[in-house]
Structure 1
Amino acid sequence: MTQTLGKNQDRISRRQVDKFAQRRAQLAASALQTLSELGYARTSMREIAQNSEFSHGVLHYYFRDKVELITFCVRQYKAECVTRYDQIVVTAGTAEELKEGFAEAMAGTLREDAPMHRLWYDLRNQSLFEESFREDVLAIDQSLERMIWRIVGLYAELAGGAPAVPSPTAYAVFDGVFQQALLGHLGGRESAADDLRTSVTLLLEQLVPSA
């Protein structure tokens, strides 16, 4: 009887945890649009509440402060991004397919998700000054580096070559090229996405020179 009661309490507790997590994800998705439009410095919890269907009090119940909300939002979005690229790794059968798929995915996310990427770079820059962001930013950055390295590693395997640089360098190169393209896109350069696609293709070829 005691064991049954304990199991029931565990199930109830897990359901409560799941509901809490789902609600946080819901709130983050609603807040993300406002955050991506205004950026960190210009956005307050009250501003987020005014631009969503949730009250200021509800936001504060699920998130301690703006820092926790923003880092949760960016973590959630970047985790989805990593999953998209992992799908390319799973489906690519040749080096050419991988190269084209990766380049197209990078160009596509630049066109479709520029405000979200802008928020990520804003948060990463803020972490240089605000220690409260640093741990989360480093964790997100490492997940993105691992994602890039999976692409580079598989490309090398499929092409019969070997990466010419270590993982941190490969990530830094792709990240730098993407950030430049993002700046051009936000500045109205119509060719930014196409230029990025071309750059990503060339980079993969150069990072695996013996391919």
Structure 2
Amino acid sequence: MSRPSLSQTKAETKRAFLIEQATLCLSQKGYAHVSLRDIAKESGVSLGILHYYFASKEDLLLAVISRYKEGFIAELEREVVEAPLERWMDSLYSVLHRSLTRDRDQHRLWYDLQVQAMYVPAFYEQVSEIRARLHSLIAQMLERLSDAKHSSLTVGKEAATALLYSLIDGLFLQSMLSEASDSKDVISHFEQTFPLVIQSLFLPKGDSHSSIR
């Protein structure tokens, strides 16, 4: 496999820089209140240069969200789904806490994209793909827990996955809507609720009843 040329490396570095600047601009002001001209000005480049790398504001937003969610999904895979089961729940809390603090603005932009997805087909495709990947991670975690507990789910796997996704997604949405909320309080409330939901999804050990499908 040939190594990338110097010009390719420079182009990739420039594109990454523009995505980073766009992330800051969009996450602070929201998609509807930012133009490509605004992003070009904040980035210190001409509008023509920005158009060279991104065909439209929609194209740029997709790149911004893709970069952030790739990192978020990678964290979930590495620290929760693929990590030892002994502390998986604590690891999940840690990932969620970072997203509500360090990456709060970027995650708020994710909700902005989901709203736009109701009107822009290109956004709908990306939102659906990301949500499907998150659902897949939850389903993998449920399978690991089921094997470890030697227990069946009380509902079908798809229903259990949708329930947990809705719970976690609701946590983020409520936090985004309440700027005054303390992330520690949000996570603390989640820590009280989440284990109860997980417990309700699995049959007690020794229960011979089949799960509800």
Larger proportion of helix? 1
Contact 1:111–1:193 (Cα < 8 Å) also in 2: no
Contact 1:181–1:196 (Cα < 8 Å) also in 2: no
AA of the residue aligned to 1:113: D
Q: 5+ residue gaps in structure 1? A: 1-9
Q: Secondary structure at the match of 2:32?
A: coil
Deviations 1:87-143 (A, max 9, x none): 12222242xx11221123213321221111110011011110222311122112212
For 1:28 and 1:105, locate their aligned partners in 2 and report how far apart those are by CA, in whole Å: 23
Q: Secondary structure at the match of 2:44?
A: coil
1:91 equivalent to 2:97? Answer no
Work out which structure has the larger RCO, using CA pairs closer than 8 Å and 6 or more positions apart in sequence. 1
1:41 equivalent to 2:32? Answer yes
- 1:192-203 map, 5 Å: 192-203=186-197
Contact 2:171–2:186 (Cα < 8 Å) also in 1: no
Contact 1:85–1:102 (Cα < 8 Å) also in 2: yes
Counterpart for residue 92 of structure 2: 102
The two structures have a TM-score, normalised by structure 2, of 0.80
Counterpart for residue 30 of structure 1: 21
1:177 equivalent to 2:171? Answer yes
The two structures have a TM-score, normalised by structure 1, of 0.80
- 1:46-57 map, 5 Å: 46-57=37-48
**Cα RMSD over matched residues?**
2.4
AA of the residue aligned to 1:208: F
- 1:112-191 map, 5 Å: 112-163=102-153, 164-165=155-156, 166=158, 167-184=161-178, 186=179, 188-190=180-182, 191=185
1:146 CA drift (Å): 1.6
Q: Secondary structure at the match of 1:57?
A: helix
Aligned residues: 197
